[in-house]
Amino acid sequence: MARPLIADIDLDALRHNYRLACSMAPDSRAVAVLKADGYGHGAVACARALEDLAPAFAVACIEEAVTLREAGIATPIVLLEGIFEASELEQVEALGLWMAVHSDWQLEALLARRAARPIPVWLKVDSGMHRLGFAPEAAEAAWRRLAAAPDHVCDLQLMSHFATADLTDTGYFTRQMGRLRALAEGLEAPLCLANSPATLARPEARGAWHRPGVMLYGSDPLEAASAESQRLAPVMTLRSALIAVRELPAGEPVGYGGRWVTPRPSRIGVVACGYGDGYDRHAVDGTPVLVVGRRAAVAGKVSMDMMTVDITDIPEAQIGSEVVLWGRAANGELLGVDEVARHCDTISYTLLTGVLPRVPRRYHGAS
Ligand SMILES: Cc1ncc(COP(=O)(O)O)c(C=O)c1O
């Protein structure tokens, strides 16, 4: 038997989630964010599945765009961080990419370029995330310079990113929106603001474009789930099987450091999945997994290639039984990646992007 660990990717669920993002903002166009290899799902497969729906894709860097172009994806692609050096402009033009401009040096390089055709530009404003972008006071001048260079720049949009759109406390989000509104009104700029949480929960952030990322993959980014976010469908199921079962008396330590000690006579299932596959080693005892579609709990520290789960209350579990680390079990039971992330003191983004290349991806749907 081959090692049973596999990431099943449901491309129909991806399309469902993309359509949900569109339905949340019907007057806005949704650029599907495919960076970090499609949040670990395989950017090329995701792009092919969304090609007929999405007017544009977004990635973090030119290398990710090249991967999509080499796979034959012709859809416009936005570079969310723009170029990292001026020499990339040639490729931006050759590959027909769109680019964010977040810094003076990028703007100067763009305007200094000998342009064969203009490049669609998303001017990035730092409205409060304090990561990338022009300060609002500087953004107006940058906008006007770009707008005055139609040989170099076309389809100018104003872009910004929210720090707290996922929180129920909307105080800081409202401050960011206020700064953006003031700026956009003066410029009559089309806006691209909303990430997944803002797409789901902040109607005032919907502009000409929105940029859903993690919600496309079925993760709910909101601090407090909404009726809409509950309609998201999981795209990845990380699936494995039990490769050994042990019967232990009470009082026996399990795994490295003996972190978990059997509180009663226990059955322990050994799962073929570990941190060498990307499963988070910070998973605490009690982190849920599904064994034959029933809830079981991580018991003991995650190892590189294996982990141990308490299956004392699942007598039908045996060697070869299905284990779902997150996603949907064969019996239809669901274990959300967000719930697993909470037990690992992290977020779904790190779990999904962290699934390592040695885990084969198996694609379903969207044929
Ligand atoms: C600039 C930008 N836009 C959009 C996104 C998508 O965010 P999310 O995955 O929360 O929807 C990201 C993700 O980090 C981003 O950096």
Q: Which atom of ligand 1 is nearest to the CA of 80?
A: 1
Is residue 301 part of the annotated active site? The answer reads: no
Could you read off the pLDDT of 260-275 as tens digits, one per residue? 999 999 999 999 999 9
Confirm or deny that 131 is annotated as ligand binding.
yes
CA of residue 147 to ligand 1 center, whole Å: 25
Tally the domains of the chain.
2
Residue 350 forms part of a structural domain: no
Considering the domain architecture, whether residues 51 and 94 belong to the same structural domain is answered as yes
Return the structure tokens found at 297. Answer: 């709990």
Pocket of ligand 1 (CB under 6 A): 33, 80, 161, 195-196, 211-215, 221
Return the structure tokens found at 114. Answer: 């000998």
Could you read off the pLDDT of 185-216 as tens digits, one per residue? 889 899 999 999 999 999 999 899 999 999 99
Considering the domain architecture, whether residues 66 and 109 belong to the same structural domain is answered as yes
What CATH number corresponds to the domain at position 29? Answer: 3.20.20.10
Could you read off the pLDDT of 339-360 as tens digits, one per residue? 999 999 999 999 999 999 999 9
Catalytic residue among 18, 39, 124, 256: 256
Considering the domain architecture, whether residues 131 and 76 belong to the same structural domain is answered as yes
Q: Is 311 exposed, middle or buried (0-12, 13-18, 19+ CB in 10 A)?
A: buried
What CATH number corresponds to the domain at position 257? Answer: 2.40.37.10
CA of residue 115 to ligand 1 center, whole Å: 30
Considering the domain architecture, whether residues 130 and 162 belong to the same structural domain is answered as yes
Considering the domain architecture, whether residues 116 and 244 belong to the same structural domain is answered as no
Considering the domain architecture, whether residues 128 and 266 belong to the same structural domain is answered as no
Q: Which atom of ligand 1 is nearest to the CA of 35?
A: 13
Could you read off the pLDDT of 51-66 as tens digits, one per residue? 999 999 999 999 999 9
* Distance in angstroms (rounded) separating the CA atoms of residues 101 and 139: 11
Q: What percent of the chain has pLDDT over 90?
A: 97
Among the residues of the chain, which ranges form H helices? 11-24, 35-39, 43-50, 62-70, 89-94, 104-112, 136-147, 171-187, 196-201, 337-343, 348-353
Considering the domain architecture, whether residues 74 and 116 belong to the same structural domain is answered as yes
Is residue 363 part of the annotated active site? The answer reads: no
| Structural domain harbouring 48 | 11-221
Residue 1 has pLDDT above 70, yes or no: no
Residue 345 forms part of a structural domain: no
Residue 129 forms part of a structural domain: yes
Confirm or deny that 15 is annotated as ligand binding.
no
Residue 23 forms part of a structural domain: yes
Q: Which atom of ligand 1 is nearest to the CA of 100?
A: 1
